[in-house]
């Protein structure tokens, strides 16, 4: 008994290029923030605002700080095309000295990984003898 099989060829398409053109896309107002010099214990929080300039809803899957002294919170709902979202970043200002930290965002965007930056210096006025 003999068998003959014919394989179908699939035409090559540029479906991935078309899909990429429709993907969601971040556009941040700014991607870094300098707190300057703050006193120990001061509020050290910044809100990064972004727009979805893509054609599909933007979904943030994770936001990871570079260390435990930085705490992010973010829009958990999909951000529709043309709409805005926020990523709030807080730094523990009880740690005296200069700091430079990053926050890595994972999403379904054209660029699936995006990094934001914060920096500044925390001083202890009490330790320096000034009030």
Domain residue spans in the chain? 20-123
20 pLDDT tier (thresholds 50, 70, 90): confident
CATH, domain range 20-123: 2.60.40.10
Residue 16 has pLDDT above 50, yes or no: no
Nearest CA-CA partner of 72 in 58, 87, 86, 50 = 87
Find out whether 105 and 63 touch, Cβ atoms under 8 Å.
yes
Per-residue pLDDT tens digits for 30-81: 999 999 999 999 999 999 999 999 999 999 999 999 999 999 999 889 999 9
Confidence at residue 9, expressed as pLDDT on a 0 to 100 scale:
47
The yes-or-no verdict on residue 10 having pLDDT over 50 is no
């Amino acid at each position: 008994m003999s068998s003959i099989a014919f394989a179908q060829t699939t035409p090559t398409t540029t479906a991935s290029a078309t899909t990429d053109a429709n993907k969601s896309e971040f556009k941040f107002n700014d991607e870094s923030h300098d707190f300057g010099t703050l006193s120990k214990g001061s509020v050290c929080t910044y809100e990064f605002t972004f727009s979805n300039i893509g054609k599909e809803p933007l979904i943030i899957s994770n936001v990871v700080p570079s260390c435990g002294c930085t705490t992010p919170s973010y829009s958990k709902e999909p951000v529709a095309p043309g709409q805005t979202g926020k990523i709030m970043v807080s730094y523990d200002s009880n740690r005296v000295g200069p700091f430079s930290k990053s926050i890595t965002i994972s999403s379904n965007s054209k660029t699936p990984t995006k990094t934001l930056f914060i920096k500044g210096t925390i001083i202890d006025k009490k330790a320096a003898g000034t009030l």
